[in-house]
């Protein structure tokens, strides 16, 4: 265990084992002493030692509680990162999104998309619905914004530049004005385009 949390956990377990298997048996096994004493300490001294032992036990318990809370938060952070990477990877590994992206790219390069964008309404809706889901996840904190930006910024901004903000006259999707379609994508786009 190389992490600090692992060392804390091991030290806590060793201390607890030492308390249970060494200190407690020695306390209840009289070696010597006069009447009314144990190890030459009277009842008041042992009451004080017991109180100190309770304080040490409470501190150990608090340490374990802090460690557990840290572990839970760390696990949640790792889960968010994994969730974000899985969502971003869908652009590269999902066969449906890949097919849609290839059809849009081929239509863009041939000029067919500009001539008849309504013909590609399903493909355009599919790709922008995927981007909208990613943008909503970022807005709600379900996805890590920095990872999404690293993974998809160039792709998403290129799609928005080429297909939403371009000179395509007959855009088949109702975007702009008061219409909320792909609103989160556009907010993310403008956030990325605004210099920091």
What pLDDT score was predicted for residue 10? 80
Question: What is the distance between the alpha carbons of residues 162 and 143, in angstroms, rounded to a whole number?
Answer: 25
What pLDDT score was predicted for residue 1? 44
What pLDDT score was predicted for residue 55? 85
pLDDT band at 28 (very low <50, low <70, confident <90, very high): low
> What tens digit of pLDDT does each residue of 100-153 get?
999 999 998 998 888 888 888 889 889 999 999 999 999 999 999 999 999 999
Q: Residue 177: pLDDT above 50?
A: no
Helix (H) or strand (E) holding 156, with range, is helix 145-159
pLDDT band at 154 (very low <50, low <70, confident <90, very high): very high
Question: What is the distance between the alpha carbons of residues 134 and 86, in angstroms, rounded to a whole number?
Answer: 11
């Amino acid at each position: 265990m190389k992490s600090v949390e692992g060392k804390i956990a091991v030290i806590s377990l060793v201390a607890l084992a030492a308390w249970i298997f060494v200190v407690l048996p020695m306390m209840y096994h009289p070696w010597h002493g006069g009447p009314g004493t144990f190890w030459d300490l009277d009842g008041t001294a042992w009451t004080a030692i017991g109180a100190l032992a309770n304080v040490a036990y409470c501190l150990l318990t608090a340490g374990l509680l802090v460690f557990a809370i840290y572990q839970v938060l760390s696990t949640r952070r790792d889960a968010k990162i994994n969730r974000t990477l899985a969502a971003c990877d869908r652009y590269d590994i999902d066969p449906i999104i890949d097919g849609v992206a290839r059809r849009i790219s081929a239509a863009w390069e041939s000029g067919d998309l500009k001539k008849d964008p309504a013909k590609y309404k399903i493909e355009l809706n599919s790709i922008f619905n995927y981007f909208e889901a990613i943008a909503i996840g970022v807005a709600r904190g379900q996805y890590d914004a920095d990872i999404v930006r690293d993974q998809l910024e160039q792709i998403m901004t290129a799609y928005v530049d080429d297909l939403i903000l371009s000179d395509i006259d007959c855009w088949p999707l109702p975007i702009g004005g008061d219409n909320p379609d792909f609103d989160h994508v556009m907010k993310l786009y403008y956030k990325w385009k605004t210099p920091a």
